[in-house]
Amino acid sequence: MFTLVCMLLLFCAMAFSQTRAITGTIRDAKGEPVPFATVKIKGGKSGVSADANGKFSINAKQGDVLVVSATDITQKEITVGSGNTVEVEVIRSQASLSEVVVTASGIRRTDKALGYAISKVDPDALLQKSEPDMLKGLQGKVAGVDIRSSQGTPGAATRIQIRGNASFQSTQPLIVVDGVPYSNTQLTTSSQTSGGTAYGSGIANLDPNDIATMNVLKGVAASSLYGSRAAAGVILITTKSGSASRNKKGIGVNVRSSVSWETVANLPQYQNDYGTGANFGYSNSNGSWGPSFASLDSIPAWPDYKAAYPDLFPSANIKYRAYPNNVKDLFKTGMLYENSVGITGGDDKSSVALTLSNLTQSGYIQNSDYGRNNVGIGAQTKLKDWITVGGNFSYVRSKQKGGYFGENQVDGASSLFARTLFLGRNWDLNLPYQDRNGVPLTPNGGGQFDNPRWAALNNVATTFEERTIAGARTEIRVNNWIRINYNFGANTSAINRREITEINSRAAEGLGRLVVDNFRQQELESVLLLTLNPKLNDDFDLRVIFGNEINQRTTTRQYATGSQFIVPGLYTLDNTKQQTFNPSGDTYSRRRLLGYYTDITLGYKNYAFLNVSGRVDKSSTLPVKNNTYFYPQASLSLVFTDALNIKTNWLDYGKVRASWARVGNDANPNSIEDVFNVGTNFLGQATASRSGTTFDPNLTPEFTNEIEVGTNLSFWKKRINLDLSVYRKISTDLIAPVSLPESAGYTQLYTNFGEISNKGIEIDLTVRPIQTKSFNWDIHGAFTKNKNIVVKLKDGIERFATGGVLTSISPYFEAGLPYGYLRGTVSVRDANGNLLINPATGGMIVSDDQAMIGDPNPDYKLGITNSFSYKGFFLSALFDMTKGGDMYSVTVSSELGRGVTKDTRDRETSWVIPGVYGDPSTKQPILLGGKTVPNQTRITTNDLYFTSSATFATFAINTATEWNVYDATVYRLREVTLGYEIPKSLFGKLPINGATISLSGRNLWFIAPNFPKYSNFDPEVNSFGATNIQGIELSAAPTTRRYGVNLNVTF
Amino acid sequence: MTTYKLNIFKVILPSVLLLGSCKKFLDVNKNINDPIAVPVAILLPDAEKNLANSLAIGGGLSQDLAVYTHQMSTREAPDQYGVTGGDFNVQNAWSTFYDGALVSLDEIIKAATPAGNFKYAGIAKILKAYGCSQFVDVFGDIPFTEANKFKDGVQFAKFDASKDIYPALIAMINEGLADISNKAVNPKVPKEDDVIYGGDTTKWKKAANTIKLKLYTQVRKVQNVQADVTALLATPANLINTTAESFLLPYGPQGATDDRNPGFGDYFATQRANHISPWFYGILKGYNPNIFTSIADPRVPYYFYNQMKATTATREGNQTEYRDGAFVSIYFGSVGPDRDRNQQGTISVMGMYPVGGRYDQGDGLNVNATSGTGAAPYRFITYADRLYLEAELINVGLAPGDAKTKLQAAIKESFRQVDYVITTYVKPSQTVPSLIGTGLDTAYTRKVLTTYDAASADKKLEIIMTEKWISSYGSAVDQYTDYRRTTYPVLFDPRNAAMAPGGFVQPPINGDPVNPNPPPQKAVPVKQSLAFPLSLPWSTSELEKNQAAPAQKNPQTYKVFWQQP
């Protein structure tokens, strides 16, 4: 640290001589700088080039006319006056193809020179769309990016993945905000199989209102300068406060305000003809397989309710009737309020930006909410002509509150959605949810589940997160071809989480529990860049960059459980009878990384570009002998329309590009030496045991290699623009734990092994069918296809689970199979694929062996946005679809198995499962005269979906998990916005520059055709949030639908 | 300007490079959260606890085996003898032993021997031999010589033949005995950290000898053990000789830490999985027509707790399958309509003796975490077990003496054991009468011995083994072994025409006094599709990861070496 401070001081202490010249900045109508434009004196021969920030300096005298030109702007002339500075405002031509793109390490390049794919995201596309989560706002808009939400409750994590999974461990892209990596960790406190809440991920704290630019670096070539963590792609964000670019007017104020209403997107269509019971006989059970409501008049009053509130049940019996809205009544309308104020100001030397925002959201479930307050401020000033300094600071505090989910069947679990979506059709959940002592009541009693109303109020996890970002930067122009940039930043996040399970819940032994998780993560990042841009000759353009990165990450965590509340209603560890530290409950880790790199770009006649780079990393997490590693990158870009001088009516612009790159990655900290774990005391004696993980002392970095080719084409005066990329990414020597047999004495070996491949294609296509003065129609399509295969593991490791979910289903890695495929129990079939049927029951036979039962990776994704504008009105609609990808759904299997949806209404019939008779003990077909015997055993509809045990397996509950895996193809109208830009003239003398009012709708319609028709199931849920476990839904909260009204005013 | 430019190159870049080459800067990877070595005194309690956990009801081997020995019944895999290698309890028991107990024991042996801490090494060897013997008895061939040898280069441990392991275990026990008796000054000796015997090496010697006696008895049909048995029985005082010398792991209550018997988990389970087998219950109540008929066992309220009162009506929709007054359960192999009804709050559960639950005084409460202390020990080998072993050996002519006297002593010790466990370990808040001295115990013993006198030699063995089976309730591993060795006690067989005529078994006709109205209770259809398993399947998790492992066995036919061919 000391050295860094010294370096900063050194920069400040140095002084340079000034040059006498006219300096200026070129900006477009929005005030955004226009980089790399050519500035010439009219009639003169030589000119200068503006820099990446649109700044230029030229020797000129008063009266000279400066000609400013660039490929994407309309040429502009300006006469030099008496001052030394000029401000040039230019008009951008449409669909500019030579925009500047911020690439790795903040290096700006023209789009032309890019030999790889980078998607630039317009921050406005994320705002005021009734979606507070920036990542969710990106869904369907960027090719090559797969974004999945998790639960439908406020603040739940979003998983983003760029070009597939390239590691057995974390596969989330690196997010860099204002030059500092932004941890997007999902802190999982309790297992999400058996009762964790809908944990959020870090990036949800970023205020979309504060985003100035956002670029998605998809390939390894694009991101390799980021080193270790870039194999999964990079999302590069600059905030308004972080860039503090000046509004052209000097002072600009922007106020945005939105309010949205949210509801459950879709509930199943329930049958309301049959109540609880089995095979048309009444019983007070969970399944609605009992008698029809027409055939039975009354049933015994709910025993627990009657005992608690005898006055409510004067008779021994109650009416046997349907409660058609009993599920719907459990939900309310949630609200989402977003307000923000952005202020920018400054003069020609200094600028300042301030963003304040507040988000308040309440979900459709009682007591689930999310709130966020952000403050961001940044400023920069040009101290002298040759030195600019800037700094930024932002603070956010968020709060997330919600209940627990997961598989209620796991012992000790209490899931808020244990029965919520498949309530007995004759259950009235509007009855009191607890007795006079606060014990939750349910119609069928027996503590099978906590009443959802009681659980929502009492079993609640609250997470506070505070994040502070501080950054300082300086740019020194040594001369007109040497520049030094230095950026230092700190990104610190502190999470404080408290998970309360109330006394009398079925979980925590009914005695109450508090889990406290305090987690702090700090990341320091220092980047020093030296840029040399020597003038070679008219044809060649050379840029050489030397860089140094120093990164440090420190994590501390205290994580403890208190059991058995002493005084009810008080939720502190002090107020519990027993306190234990969770495994690894008090930990500290630190890692450091040093990176040195160079990046050389050679341009020829502004149409051919060669870019090579190389980086050496030294990581603290690898054994010393292997901790230094090098990786290179080379890319080529050729604007062939310029090179071959093609000028046709139909082809405006064409570029081909190709790149090859490699990136190395290090290990997790503390992955070098074997340890013991001190455990909790037993009978008052201290205990310890050897850790189950052993570490490979010869750990080496893992590497990802990627080849990418692509093209950018523009047709018919930019009416059609195509951006296409094809890539092949191979990751090898992956660092991950290999499972060992129990008899080895260790559960896992942390080592290098295996290979993962990702192959894919990404297409961004923009079509503008109608372009008139008053009416415009744009269509933008984003297509993503990625095939993610585990190529090989290690000798002796046939497969391993990514994380145990349930013994009957888990995601696995196995050579030759898709990444994280679902492996689970299957029914036995004969050699011809016929199901074996147990002759005694007519049900199927569950195999002892498990097999692949699904692939959670989608075949492709497609998003199509149609935008229309007519005078001040605009309308845009995003339709997207995900084809393929499988999902194991407990919600759907329960809806079928409990007989609650219309899918199982027509039940007065019997069924024969197609198959041949088999012997349940040998699992072989039963042969009669050497031939198999077709099944003839009829079973009831009830038995077709619900049987009591796996020995009589059928199709929904108590069967092989293969039958509860569905193809998750889904079509969706994701986002619709209708708005009107109020003309400035309407405001008269009011100091209002512009105002827009809009209506937005989100997730307005969807259909997942391969799920049971009346389940109305939305496969865009996932029980494991942003983790590697995908395609598994264990009674998750359904997605939401939102309608919003938005106002945007600039002053 | 040139000067300044030079400054930049001369000052800044080298300073960055210097920083980079600084080794200290990168030397931050030391794990400061966990120790790289620990004293043996804190490994021992972990090893002892994990050994018991791998065997106990509630995640250990006894969980499934208690169903196989018909002391429990369940709706889960063990019903119909259907436990697979993927069964949670099999996998959990396997990993708790191999990744838990065995690792800690090996670490103790490795560290204690060169340090001269022979007592630690000796105890660890005895425990390791005992643990391995239990796994051999249940699984047959297991990883032994190459187990926990990853650091010696063995990733895939071979499965040793069960017949080769037994002699090695005897040798290991003898080594342990020699270590314990080593006269050298031990720098460190076990004290309270030895939660089994508190570091009492005399008791360890007795336990070690009794383990040997048990192992020899178990192989008596395939090996001549006369000399070995005779040698061990020659000095009875060198065997477990009093109640307090019983080889058991004490569990504790839920206090500052949770030390409860894992089997107590059913008291707060969100879905109770363990029913009491009506077969076991029926024998204790004297309902069984073939053994102890009409002899009521006074241990019933110590063994089982009824959540119902005898007069409580069954809820409509929650009809019971087997009810006998307050006692509620389901049958092994049941395919009856009421088997799967929600009986969370009505089934009878394990009582105070096996898991530290509630003594049944007829109060019919819905049990929960506070209904008992959960502090019952897991009994490896009790003094009673030793006496039953002797009675068996006398019965088959391998030891001299009077089998009846031994049986009488064994039954008496079994009763005393119940009182001892409750007063010494469970320490309930309930007032619990003692069994010994009430006269109930002697009356019961007298009746049993009367039937014993009238029995044939084979029936006598059945009576001995059945009493041992009743006595060892809560520890099912040896029960399973005893049944496979001796075919006793006689277990419920849904295919037996006498036990389940026409595939139906009849609960006590008037067992449900309230509902249905009027009685009788319905007969229950039962089925059994798989034969009695001669061993448990190996953990799938082990087989899938171990290339040296054999293919999964057929548990119905795979025998452990001591089973007669």
pLDDT digits (tens, 9 = 90+) for A834-878: 999 999 889 999 887 889 999 999 999 999 999 999 988 999 999
- Gyration radius (Cα) of chain B, Å: 27
The H or E element spanning position A548 is strand A540-565
B16 touches chain A (CB under 8 A): yes
DSSP state of B424: I
HSE-CB for A204 with a 13 A CA cutoff: 32
Burial A128-161 (b: 16+ CB within 10 A, else e): bbbbbbbbbbbbbbbbbbbbbbbbbbbbbbbbbb
CA distance A712 to B506: 81
- The residue type of A745 is G
Residue B328 placed within a domain:
no
Contact across the interface for A747 and B99, Cβ inside 8 Å? yes
Residue B161 placed within a domain:
yes
* B81 shares its domain with B175: yes
3-state DSSP call for residue A673?
coil
- The larger pLDDT score, comparing residue B107 to residue A413, is at B107
A857 touches chain B (CB under 8 A): no
B556 touches chain A (CB under 8 A): yes
CA distance B321 to B275: 12
Residues of A in contact with B495 (CB under 8 A): none
Chains A, B: CB contacts within 8 A come to 298
DSSP state of A429: T
Cα dist. B360→A855, B300, B312, B372 in Å? 52, 8, 16, 11
Pairing of strands A748-771, A693-695: parallel
Residue the block writes with tokens 């081997």: B61
Could you tell me if B531 and B520 are in contact, meaning their C-beta atoms sit under 8 angstroms apart?
A: no
* B13 shares its domain with B63: no
pLDDT at position A950? 66
Q: Give the other-Cβ count within 10 Å of A874's Cβ.
A: 17
CA distance A772 to A778: 12
The H or E element spanning position B390 is helix B383-395
Pairing of strands B142-143, A180-181: unpaired
Two tokens at A536?
Answer: 């070679």
* B112 shares its domain with B151: yes
B229 touches chain A (CB under 8 A): no
Please state the length of chain A. 1051
Residues of A in contact with B4 (CB under 8 A): 14-16, 478
Cα dist. A502→A446, A774, A868, B564 in Å? 18, 61, 52, 56
Domain of residue B100, residue span: 37-255+536-545
Residues of B in contact with A810 (CB under 8 A): none
Which residues contact residue A121 at a Cβ distance below 8 angstroms, ignoring those fewer than 6 apart?
A138, A141, A142, A214, A215, A216
* B101 shares its domain with B218: yes
Residue the block writes with tokens 């110590």: B302
pLDDT at position A125? 82
CA distance B471 to B469: 5
3-state DSSP call for residue B275?
strand
Residues of B in contact with A278 (CB under 8 A): 337
* B234 shares its domain with B145: yes
pLDDT at position A96? 45
pLDDT at position A58? 82
Q: CA of A484: which chain B residue's CA is closest? A: B8
| Nearest CB to A510; choose among B41, B155, B368 | B368
- How does DSSP assign B68-135, residue by residue? HTTSEE-SSTTGGG---TT-HHHHHHHHIIIIIIHHHHHHHHHHHHHHT-HHHHHHHHHHHHHHHHHH
- Compute the average pLDDT of residues B259-283: 95
CA distance A637 to A656: 6
CA distance A487 to A11: 12
CA distance A21 to B354: 94
Q: CA of A919: which chain B residue's CA is closest? A: B529
Could you tell me if A378 and A389 are in contact, meaning their C-beta atoms sit under 8 angstroms apart?
A: no
Residues of B in contact with A446 (CB under 8 A): 318, 342-345
Q: Cis peptide before A443, with omega less than 30 degrees from 0?
A: no
Contact across the interface for B12 and A411, Cβ inside 8 Å? no
Pick among B4, B29, B271, B344 to test the A interface (most A CBs inside 10 A): B29
Q: Cis peptide before B518, with omega less than 30 degrees from 0?
A: yes
Residue B74 placed within a domain:
yes
pLDDT at position A522? 95
* B173 shares its domain with B217: yes
CA distance A788 to A471: 37
DSSP state of A816: T
3-state DSSP call for residue A538?
coil
- Compute the average pLDDT of residues B468-477: 98
| Nearest CB to B344; choose among A3, A446, A509 | A446
- How does DSSP assign A854-868, residue by residue? E--S-SEEEEEEEEE
Burial of A651 (0-12, 13-18, 19+ CB in 10 A): middle
* B110 shares its domain with B248: yes
CA distance B371 to B428: 9
Percent of chain B with pLDDT over 70: 95
Could you tell me if A955 and A1012 are in contact, meaning their C-beta atoms sit under 8 angstroms apart?
A: no
Contact across the interface for B37 and A676, Cβ inside 8 Å? yes
| Nearest CB to A741; choose among B107, B250, B545 | B545
Range 424-463 of B in CB contact (< 8 A) with A: none
Two tokens at A667?
Answer: 């290990």
Q: Strands, DSSP E only, in A834-937?
A: 836-837, 846-854, 860-870, 873-883, 886-889, 910-911, 916-917, 927-928, 931-932
A848 touches chain B (CB under 8 A): yes
pLDDT at position A1049? 93
| Of the listed ranges A63-67, B73-77, B135-139, B352-356, the one predicted with least confidence | A63-67
* B17 shares its domain with B153: no
* B161 shares its domain with B29: no
pLDDT at position A17? 33
pLDDT at position A3? 42
B145 touches chain A (CB under 8 A): no
| Nearest CB to A798; choose among B46, B91, B544 | B544
| Domain of residue B146, CATH code | 1.25.40.390
Q: CA of B532: which chain A residue's CA is closest? A: A921
pLDDT at position A411? 84
Q: How far is B123 from chain A (nearest CA, A)?
A: 17
Q: How far is B183 from chain A (nearest CA, A)?
A: 27
* B31 shares its domain with B175: no
Residues of A in contact with B33 (CB under 8 A): 584, 586-589, 670, 675
HSE-CB for A263 with a 13 A CA cutoff: 12
Which residues contact residue B91 at a Cβ distance below 8 angstroms, ignoring those fewer than 6 apart?
A807, B85, B539, B540, B541
Residue B301 placed within a domain:
no
Question: First and final CA of chain B: distance in angstroms?
Answer: 98
Residue ranges of chain A whose pLDDT lies below 70? 1-20, 30, 45-46, 71-72, 74, 92-100, 228, 244-249, 950
3-state DSSP call for residue B309?
coil
A676 touches chain B (CB under 8 A): yes
* B20 shares its domain with B55: no
Q: CA of B554: which chain A residue's CA is closest? A: A922
Q: How far is B448 from chain A (nearest CA, A)?
A: 39
Please state the length of chain B. 565
Contact across the interface for B28 and A590, Cβ inside 8 Å? yes
Residue the block writes with tokens 């019961």: B444
Q: Give the other-Cβ count within 10 Å of A621's Cβ.
A: 26
pLDDT at B443 over 70: yes
3-state DSSP call for residue A61?
coil
Long-range (24+ apart) CB contacts under 8 A made by B307-310 are B307/B345, B307/B346, B307/B347, B307/B348, B307/B349, B307/B364, B307/B365, B307/B366, B307/B367, B308/B346, B308/B348, B308/B364, B309/B362, B309/B363, B309/B364, B310/B362, B310/B364, B310/B513
pLDDT at position A226? 83
Could you tell me if A759 and A784 are in contact, meaning their C-beta atoms sit under 8 angstroms apart?
A: no
CA distance B400 to A327: 74
Residue B127 placed within a domain:
yes
* B19 shares its domain with B124: no
Residue B298 placed within a domain:
no
Residue B217 placed within a domain:
yes
CA distance A304 to B122: 57
What is the number of structural domains in chain B? Answer: 2
pLDDT at position B7? 47
A448 touches chain B (CB under 8 A): yes
Residue B357 placed within a domain:
no
Q: CA of B88: which chain A residue's CA is closest? A: A807
A799 touches chain B (CB under 8 A): yes
Two tokens at B146?
Answer: 């190459």
Which residues contact residue A308 at a Cβ distance below 8 angstroms, ignoring those fewer than 6 apart?
A432, A435, A436, A439, A441
Could you tell me if A462 and A399 are in contact, meaning their C-beta atoms sit under 8 angstroms apart?
A: yes
B339 touches chain A (CB under 8 A): yes
Of A610, A602, A733, A600, the closest CA to residue A662 belongs to: A733
A18 touches chain B (CB under 8 A): no
Pairing of strands A513-532, A350-362: unpaired
Contact across the interface for B341 and A285, Cβ inside 8 Å? yes
pLDDT at position A130? 85
Q: CA of B316: which chain A residue's CA is closest? A: A283
Could you tell me if A855 and A821 are in contact, meaning their C-beta atoms sit under 8 angstroms apart?
A: yes
